Amino acid sequence: MSITIEKVPPSEHETWDSHASQSKQGTLFHQYTALEVQASHSDTIVHPLAGYKGQEPVGIFPVFEMRKGPVPFVFSPPFGLRVQYLGPAVLNMEKLKQRKLEQRHKRFIDGCIDWIDDQIGPRYVSTRSGWRYDDLRPFKWNEFDVRPSYTYVVDLNVSKDDVMERFSRTTRRRIRNNLEEEYTVEDGGKKAIEWIIQRVNERYEEQGETTPITAAFVMDLYDRLQSGQVHPYVLKIDGEIITGTILLEYGETAQRWQGGVKTNGGLPANELLEWHMMCDAMDRGITSYEIVDANFPRLNEWKTKFGPDARAYYSMMRASSGMNAAVRIYEQIRERNLIP
């Protein structure tokens, strides 16, 4: 039986969200409401594609249509929101033997690409899958250029003592020696979002780069997604915010998304905040803690002191003839860390 590709309407958003939650590749940004928020803040049209074998769902693949004049582009995730990855998420394949699994997976991706080509006809397609999506062959077979990127993941499926023991010696000492200092860590709500995103964008501006994200986008996610999925954490001393980070949670995974600022003084505020976020996540049943982005050596030194494992995720791109110049511009911007 062939795979049927359907565009899921808003009236079936609960069905879509159920598919996303059943897939090990599903993320917070795969949720239907999150797709709507992403489309609204990227000036794109979202097409939530789902594949079915008969009545059984086999995968979802949300794509975003953008037009520059008459030229259509397709992205997943959409351009310029600092959403690290999105792409396809498959389900109901775990019990299949390898031959049937590969056939079903290929037919699902083939069907989605055929739908995109028939309904949108893009000159350029770019998608990034998460670190749990590890079979990129269907994209290569469809003449996509596949390239790896990396992120860091800390295993929290152990005791807090075991997590701490994986930290560098200096980091352990700095955290343990300051746990009793006068500071507070809290979920600061929308005011904290404004503060964190402003600091993030100031850091990019200091480096001569375009600001990558708006507080309005993060606030929209905070307001519209389920409570407890977007945590604007801040560390305060005497009521004043010293540092902050947006932590995202979905299923058993937490993602340290945006934040972390340079601080002055003797208190290791960022290390303390990281530790408290990990502990809170463990208390909520989180087993994987992602420290986003392991692609820049100047930033990796700070991240690796928390004992993470490197995980690969992939970009898949396809351009039609005559689009090489546009592709080069896109890649130059990405290399400067101004997007995903």
In which band, very low, low, confident or very high, does the pLDDT at 338 lie, cut at 50, 70 and 90? Answer: very low
Q: Give the CA dihedral 118, 119, 123, 126, nearest 10 degrees.
A: -100
- Tens-place pLDDT, residues 279-322: 999 999 999 999 999 998 888 999 999 999 999 999 999 998 76
Q: How far is CA 10 from CA 35, 76, 267, 335, in A?
A: 11, 18, 48, 35
Half-sphere exposure of 16 (CA within 13 A, CB side): 26
Q: What angle do CA 15, 18, 23 make, to 5 degrees?
A: 130
329: pLDDT strictly greater than 60: no
Q: Candidates 3.40.630.30, 3.40.50.720, 3.40.605.10, 2.60.120.10; correct CATH number of 157-286?
A: 3.40.630.30
Residue range(s) in the chain whose domain bears CATH number 3.40.630.30: 4-149+313-335, 157-286
Q: Please give the sequence-ordered ranges of beta strands (E in DSSP) within the chain, or none if there are none.
A: 4-7, 45-53, 56-68, 71-76, 89-90, 124-129, 145-155, 184-187, 230-237, 240-250, 253-259, 288-291, 309-319
> Would the pLDDT of 337 be above 60?
no
pLDDT, tens digit, 9 for 90 and up, residues 172-211: 999 999 999 899 999 999 999 999 999 988 887 777 666 6
Give pLDDT, residue 331: 55
Nearest to 264 by CA among 243, 246, 245, 244: 243
Q: Would you state the pLDDT for residue 206? A: 78
Cα gap 60→91, rounded to integer Å: 8
Q: Please, what's the largest Cα pairwise distance for the chain?
A: 65
Pick 338 or 54 by higher pLDDT: 54
pTM: 0.93
Identify the CA nearest to 32 among candidates 91, 89, 82, 70.
89
CATH code of the domain made up of 4-149+313-335: 3.40.630.30
